[in-house]
Amino acid sequence: MSLLTSVSLAETVDGLLVDGLPIRFTAYDGSAAGPEDSPYTLHLASERGLAYLLTAPGDLGMARAYVSGDLEVHGDSPGNPYAVMSLLLNHLDFRRPGVVETVNLLRNIGLSNLVPPPPPASEHLPRWRRAVEGLRHSQARDAEVIAHHYDVSNRFYEMVLGPSMTYTCAVHADNDVSLEEAQFAKYELIAQKLALKPGQRLLDVGCGWGGMVRHVAKEHGVKALGVTLSANQAAWGQAKIREEGLEDLAEVRHLDYRDVKEGGFDAVSSIGLTEHIGVANYPAYFGFLRERLRPGGRLLNHCITRPHNRPTSTGQFIDRYVFPDGELTGSGTIVAAVQDAGLEVQHTENLRTHYARTLAGWSQNLADNWDECVAEAGVEIARVWGIYMAGSRIAFERDEIELHHVLATRNHDDGDSEFPRRPDWTP
pLDDT at 89: 83
Q: Is the pTM of this model over 0.85?
A: yes
Strand partners of residue 71? 44
Q: What is the pLDDT of residues 249-258, one digit of tens each?
A: 999 999 999 9
**Separation of alpha carbons 124 and 137, rounded Å:** 16
Q: End-to-end alpha-carbon separation of the chain, Å?
A: 74
Structural domains of the chain ordered from first start? 9-113 (no CATH), 139-409 (3.40.50.150)
Q: How far apart are CA 240 and CA 243, in angstroms?
A: 5
CB 211 within 8 A of CB 183: yes
Structure confidence at residue 111 as a pLDDT band (50, 70, 90):
low
Residues 402, 400: Cα–Cα separation, whole Å: 7
**Beta bridge mates, 407:** 300, 347
User: pLDDT tens, 34-70?
Assistant: 999 999 999 999 988 888 887 887 788 889 999 999 9
Which pLDDT value is given to residue 2?
40
Secondary structure tally for the chain: helices H, strands E: 17, 11
CA distance 26 to 46: 11
